[in-house]
Amino acid sequence: MSIPRVSSNGSSSSSGWKYEVFLSFRGEDTRKGFTGHLYTALTCKGINVFRDDKELEIGKPLSLELLDAIEKSRISIVVLSKNYASSSWCLDELIKIVECKSRLGQMVIPVFYDVDPAVEREQRGNFEEALTKQEEAFRDNIEKVETWRKALIEVINLPGWELKDRYESELIEDVVKEVRRKSSVSGSRLMNLKKVLVGGVSSCLEQLWMQAEIQRPRVQWNWRQSSIARTLIPIFFFL
């Protein structure tokens, strides 16, 4: 599978997400319906969402911009509609999403739109049928199809949301709540980490100060001008 890698350079870390949510979907299935309404609901809650509104030309690979957006998103929402696995572009997106989940800890929320997750997990539904057709189209590169299949199986086995016989608005409300919950949990973990780091730096500076007090009769020590302090103090501004 030859999907270009995007350089992280720290911007894909937990403190440098560019987007809160990346939406992966098959445009022909849900762009002007469910996914469009979900996008509006998320943005109305102040959630920064990347949604690709461009239709890729046949045979054209995913752009670096799109791959970069996936890598710099805290959460990926994968709208698994009936024809999702019929799109090689959607499947390429899925491979990148699974990679970011494993490598960067990205959270992934599958949404089963008019598909039965129980059937799909047994590989006897719409997705398996689509992948069988993909095998015919890519008979010279079966390895690629197997990579798609593995990524798809991993995502459909994650806890997700299902439309069933509910109103779409109810499903959208649940997904938005889940995104806000996951963002809140992730944010609180980051705050706890910052408290630990600040506490550790404070303790270190306190010990240095006590050492200076002990040595006061012999040494004039200005902690503000010390090399250690110049290293530690900027951490407070970063946090």
Helix or strand or coil: residue 216?
A: coil
Of 20, 71, 93, 162, the catalytic one is 93
Residues in Cβ contact with 108 at an 8 Å cutoff, skipping those fewer than 6 apart: 75, 76, 78, 97, 98, 101, 155, 158
Residues with Cβ within 8 Å of 16's Cβ and at least 6 positions away in sequence, in order, are 10, 72
**Structure tokens belonging to residue 136:** 């015919």
Provide the token pair at 134: 């993909």
Count CB atoms within 10 A of the CB of residue 232.
17
Q: Is there a catalytic annotation at residue 93?
A: yes
The two tokens of residue 4 are 């270009």
Torsion, CA 156, CA 162, CA 168, CA 173, rounded to 10: -90
Residues annotated as part of the active site: 93
